[in-house]
Amino acid sequence: MWPAPSSLLAGSLPLLVGLGLATSAHAFTPSGSDIVYDVDDESFEGYLATADGESRGTVLIIHDWNGLDDYERQRADMLAAEGYDAFAVDLFGQGNRPESTEDRQAATRALYSDRERMRSLTLAGLAEAREQGAAETSVIMGYCFGGAVALEIARSGEADAVAGYTSFHGSLGTPEEQTWPADVPQLLIAHGGADSSVTMGDVATLTEELEAVEATYEIQVYSGAPHGFTVFGDDRYQERADERSWAAFLVLLEEVL
């Protein structure tokens, strides 16, 4: 039996003990389809995995700073197996999958400095998912950089028919010119207690901001989990935190979709 994780909890989601996850990234064979689509005459390449059977809703997955790869594809396939349509959006452009730290920083910096483009590309991906036949009602989630983008969309209120947002080990800061709306959909934040990139001070600040607008949210903090704790095959991967955060995410989907 695992010990209970250290956690900050608010809102209505119960904590679940984790589910078994397929953690062998090198053994992954995609079952969905790569989808090329255009936004303002620029080509992007997402990935669509459709639900096994009748769809329970759509999940939009936003990639980390290295762009869309087999990690997001695998998560999409896992969601399809749970009965959801899943679309992994591309925010960098077709063929742009930065490999060096410098290139990854440049790719994310370009979008952090142009948040209107960040939002428009994300919403274009959501529109493409629906154009491809994915269910209308959706949840938006992301990993690391993608988690920050998910919260950006949540604050903006620009997405239609989105019932919830989730950030896995993402940046949590709110830009000075932004505030949280009172009607923000339900939120789940999965954070590593040993994350050296996003501090517990950031967690506390976000908690205060969400409490101020009486948002429905849950923040889970996993003891000993570093930044990027969900990434299969990475040195930072922590199975316990990954399984528990994934289980909590499935509960959110069950509640809002």
- Summarised one tens digit per residue, pLDDT across range 115-163 is 999 999 999 999 999 999 999 999 999 999 999 999 999 999 999 999 9
> Would you say 242 and 182 are in contact if contact means Cβ atoms under 8 Å apart?
no
| The predicted structure's pLDDT at residue 12 | 36
The pTM assigned to this predicted structure is 0.90
Percent of the chain with pLDDT over 90: 88
SS3 109: helix
| The predicted structure's pLDDT at residue 28 | 84
| The predicted structure's pLDDT at residue 3 | 36
Report whether pLDDT(18) > 80: no
Report whether pLDDT(4) > 80: no
Residue 194 is given by DSSP the state T
Query: 7: pLDDT confidence band, cut at 50, 70 and 90?
Result: very low
Torsion on CA atoms 115, 136, 77, 249, rounded to nearest 10: 70
What does the block give as tokens for 98? 């930065």
| The predicted structure's pLDDT at residue 25 | 46
pLDDT digits (tens, 9 = 90+) for 33-81: 999 999 999 999 999 999 989 999 999 999 999 999 999 999 999 999 9
Give the mean pLDDT of the chain: 92
> Which ranges constitute the DSSP H helices of 157-222?
200-212
Q: Which residues contact 74 (CB under 8 A, 6 or more apart)?
A: 22, 25, 28, 30, 232
pLDDT digits (tens, 9 = 90+) for 200-220: 999 999 999 999 999 999 999
Please compute the mean of the pLDDT values over residues 92-112 and round it to a whole number: 98
CATH number of 29-256: 3.40.50.1820
| The predicted structure's pLDDT at residue 21 | 54
